[in-house]
Amino acid sequence: MTKQITCTDAHCALHGSVKTHGRTFVGTVIESKMQRTATVEWPRTRYIHKYERTATERSRVKAHNPDCLNAKKGDLVKIQESRPLSKTKTFVILEILGQNRSFMAREELLEEAKQKTEKKPAEKIAAEAAQ
Ligand SMILES: [Zn+2]
């Protein structure tokens, strides 16, 4: 709670001077390595008339990640439109709603798969050295 009082972020929706308006979305933070910026993604369905079926598409925007919230990868966040804060940033994170567990599980599986592929060459080298 003390963090909220010491928030000096000028672009913070709660403590700064940025007003939010327009559309609100709930999405998952997929990347938060940038300074005070997070990439937020959420699914949407679109009806394709030719095939008479719906297709799942993804929207991906950059949103301002204020110091007092500091959303991390995998967080479920509520974002709202604001004035352009930078060249590509026109959204602000309003609150963290929780964690997207299915996203985190998928990320863990991907990392495990990466580690497996990285280990293989080392094992081959060891096997060759043993022979
Ligand atoms: Zn703040």
pLDDT tens digits, 30-68: 999 999 999 999 999 999 999 999 999 999 999 999 999
- Whether residues 65 and 126 share a domain: the answer is no
Residues 65 and 18 in one domain: yes
Q: Domain containing 31: what range?
A: 2-99
pLDDT of residue 125: 73
Ligand 1 centre to CA of 66 (Å) is: 6
Residues 89 and 128 in one domain: no
Which residue type is seen at 4? Q
Please say if the pLDDT value at position 3 is more than 60.
no
Asked if 64 and 87 sit in the same domain, the reply is yes
Q: Count how many domains the chain has.
A: 2
7 Cα to the center of ligand 1, angstroms: 5
Residue 87 and residue 70 in one domain: yes
Mean pLDDT of 7-16: 90
CA of 68 to the centre of ligand 1 (A): 5
Give residue for tokens 């940033």: 89
What are phi and psi for residue 17, nearest 5 degrees? -105, 10
Amino acid, single-letter form, for residue 28: T
pLDDT tens-digit series, residues 64-99:
999 999 999 999 999 999 999 999 999 999 999 999
| Residue 97 token pair | 């709603």
Both ends of the chain: CA-CA distance in Å? 62
- Do 59 and 46 lie in one domain? The reply is yes
> Which pLDDT value is given to residue 129?
74
58 CA → ligand 1 middle, Å = 28
What separation in angstroms does the CA of 22 have from each of 58, 66, 83, 91? 20, 19, 10, 10
- For tokens 């949407």, the residue is 44
Q: Nearest to residue 15, comparing CAs of 27, 7, 24, 23?
A: 7
- Same structural domain, 53 and 115: no
Task: Please check whether residues 33 and 72 belong to one and the same domain.
Answer: yes
What are the φ and ψ backbone dihedral angles of 70, each rounded to 5 degrees?
A: 50, 60
